[in-house]
Amino acid sequence: MTKKRLAILGSTGSIGTQALEVVLEQKDRFEIEVLTAHRNADLLIEQAIAHQPNVVVIGEESLYNKVFAALDAHHIKVYAGAEALSQVVQMETVDLVLTALVGYAGLIPTLAAIDAGKNIALANKETLVVAGDLVTQRAKEKGVNIYPVDSEHSAIFQCLTGEFQNPIEKIILTASGGPFRGMNREDLLKVTKAQALKHPNWEMGAKITIDSASMMNKGLEVIEAKWLFGLKPDQIEVIVHPQSIVHSLVQFQDGSMKAQLGLPDMKLPIQYAMAYPERLANNFERFNFMDYPNLSFEQPDLKTFRNLQLAFDAMHRGGNAACILNAANEVVVAAFLQEKVGFVQMSDLIEDTLQKCTFVAQPTLEDYIASDSEARRITTNNI
Q: How far is CA 109 from the centre of its chain?
A: 14
Instruction: Quick: pLDDT tens for 291-311.
Output: 999 999 999 999 999 999 999
**Do 240 and 159 sit in the same domain of this protein?**
yes
Cβ(296)–Cβ(205) under 8 Å?
Answer: no
Cβ(80)–Cβ(60) under 8 Å?
Answer: yes
- Would you state the pLDDT for residue 202? 65
Measure the CA–CA gap between 363 and 368, rounded to whole angstroms.
6
Q: At what angle do helices 151-160 and 216-228 cross, to 10 degrees?
A: 30
Comparison of pLDDT for 104 and 340, the residue scoring more = 340
CATH classification of the domain holding 326: 1.10.1740.10
Measure the CA–CA gap between 130 and 354, rounded to whole angstroms.
14
**Do 32 and 106 sit in the same domain of this protein?**
yes
Amino acid residing at 345: Q
**Do 308 and 231 sit in the same domain of this protein?**
yes
**Do 159 and 143 sit in the same domain of this protein?**
no
**Do 141 and 204 sit in the same domain of this protein?**
no
Residue 111 has pLDDT above 90, yes or no: yes
Q: Which of 133, 148, 163 is the last residue of a domain?
A: 148
Residue 228 has pLDDT above 70, yes or no: yes
User: What's the domain count of the chain?
Assistant: 3
| C-alpha pair distances (Å), 26 with each of 7, 19, 21, 369 | 16, 10, 9, 38
Structural domain contains residue 309: yes
**Do 255 and 178 sit in the same domain of this protein?**
yes
- Would you state the pLDDT for residue 2? 86
Structural domain contains residue 83: yes
Task: Give the SS3 label for residue 268.
Answer: helix
Measure the CA–CA gap between 364 and 168, rounded to whole angstroms.
29
**Do 163 and 305 sit in the same domain of this protein?**
yes
Alpha-carbon dihedral of residues 56, 57, 60, 64, nearest 10 degrees?
Answer: 60
**Do 81 and 119 sit in the same domain of this protein?**
yes
Structural domain contains residue 282: no
Q: Which of 148, 183, 202 is the last residue of a domain?
A: 148
Structural domain contains residue 246: yes
**In the chain, pLDDT over 90 holds for what percent of residues?**
93
Instruction: Quick: pLDDT tens for 134-155.
Output: 999 999 999 999 999 999 999 9
Which region among 100-104, 162-166, 233-237, 249-253 has the lowest average model confidence (pLDDT)? 100-104
**Do 136 and 171 sit in the same domain of this protein?**
no
- Would you state the pLDDT for residue 20? 98
Structural domain contains residue 216: yes
- Would you state the pLDDT for residue 19? 98
Task: Give the SS3 label for residue 33.
Answer: strand
Measure the CA–CA gap between 179 and 181, rounded to whole angstroms.
6
Cβ(20)–Cβ(11) under 8 Å?
Answer: yes
**Do 325 and 306 sit in the same domain of this protein?**
no
Measure the CA–CA gap between 305 and 176, rounded to whole angstroms.
13
| C-alpha pair distances (Å), 3 with each of 32, 94, 267, 275 | 10, 11, 19, 10
Residue 83 has pLDDT above 90, yes or no: yes
**H, E, C per residue of 309-327:** HHHHHHHHHCCCHHHHHHH
**Do 341 and 196 sit in the same domain of this protein?**
no
Structural domain contains residue 276: no
Instruction: Quick: pLDDT tens for 245-292.
Output: 999 999 999 999 999 999 999 999 999 999 999 999 999 999 999 999
Structural domain contains residue 33: yes
Alpha-carbon dihedral of residues 270, 273, 275, 277, nearest 10 degrees?
Answer: 150
Q: How confident is the model at residue 13 (pLDDT cuts 50, 70, 90)?
A: very high
232-235 long-range CB contacts below 8 Å, 24 or more apart? 233/312, 233/315, 233/316, 235/168, 235/169, 235/170, 235/171
Structural domain contains residue 280: no
Task: Give the SS3 label for residue 39.
Answer: coil
Evaluated on CA atoms 279, 283, 289, 293, the torsion sign reads negative
Taking phi first (over 0 means left), then psi (-120 to 50 degrees means alpha), and beta for anything else, what does residue 339 get?
A: left
Q: Per the omega criterion (within 30 degrees of 0), is the bond before 277 cis?
A: yes
Measure the CA–CA gap between 84 and 262, rounded to whole angstroms.
38
Measure the CA–CA gap between 381 and 31, rounded to whole angstroms.
45
Show the domain range for 298. 153-265+291-313
Q: How far is CA 53 from the centre of its chain?
A: 24
Q: Which of 85, 113, 148 is the last residue of a domain?
A: 148
Residue 203 has pLDDT above 70, yes or no: no
Q: Which pTM was predicted?
A: 0.93
Residue 199 has pLDDT above 90, yes or no: no
- Would you state the pLDDT for residue 206? 87
**Do 133 and 181 sit in the same domain of this protein?**
no
CATH classification of the domain holding 122: 3.40.50.720
